[in-house]
Amino acid sequence: MILSDADILDRLADGDLVIEPLADVDQQVQPASVDLRLGERFLEFQRTNIPCIHPTEADEVGEYVTETTVSEGDEFILHPGDFVLGTTTERVEIPDDLVAHVEGRSSLGRLAIVVHATAGLCDPGYHGQITLELSNLGTAPVALSPGMRVSQLTFTELKSPADRPYGAERGSKYQDQDGPQASRIGSDPEFDGGDDGDGGDGGGVEP
């Protein structure tokens, strides 16, 4: 069952679903979703001399990713073909009986802006800001302003609460993330023998 605006407001009032700061409830809570705003921090992928990205080599991240902060009121220009990681302003806490889906706003989609590549799932139990995978599929640069509503969350109620929700007990690698986070795929158990156990990414989030 997908939650309606009334369901979302009830869950927010109960406190088991958390979205904060929710600056304007009337504007952000839609009929079956909640609009989230763009944060100020971005991770930009640089063109470098490395032959390729090795997902399992965490030490390489600093060679091809740089962080940029854009104050509210200023603009981040997303050029055609560019891919950057952004973040939501809001921090969310998803209860164990809900799963949240990260979606793009249609008004930005009509400008060829995509807000996630694959990580469109916030698992039950996820806490933190949501990393956005921003791409410009169009032919003209688009100015993105921190504070603008850039994505939306829909919520689906599970048939039963998750037995093993996202979090520290299952070694979820993006729990409580603050700002955009680069890939941590190198900590997956098939690469390092660890016990990551995630099934999703937590929020724009892969756990």
Q: Which residues are annotated as a binding site for dCTP?
A: 105-110, 123, 131-133, 152, 166, 173, 177
Task: Say if residues 24 and 35 touch (Cβ distance below 8 Å).
Answer: no
Q: Which residues contact 58 (CB under 8 A, 6 or more apart)?
A: 184, 186, 187
Is 133 a residue of the active site? Answer: yes
Residue 192 dihedral angles phi and psi, to the nearest 5°: -125, 0
Annotated binding site: 105-110, 123, 131-133, 152, 166, 173, 177
Nearest by Cα to 7 from 120, 152, 121, 155: 155
Place of tokens 């079956």: 32
Q: Which two tokens mark 167?
A: 């979090």
Q: One of 63, 133, 169, 206 is an active-site residue; which one?
A: 133
Q: Which two tokens mark 49?
A: 């001399």
Q: Which two tokens mark 184?
A: 């941590």
**Strand, helix or coil for residue 76:** strand
What are the residue numbers of the active site? Answer: 133
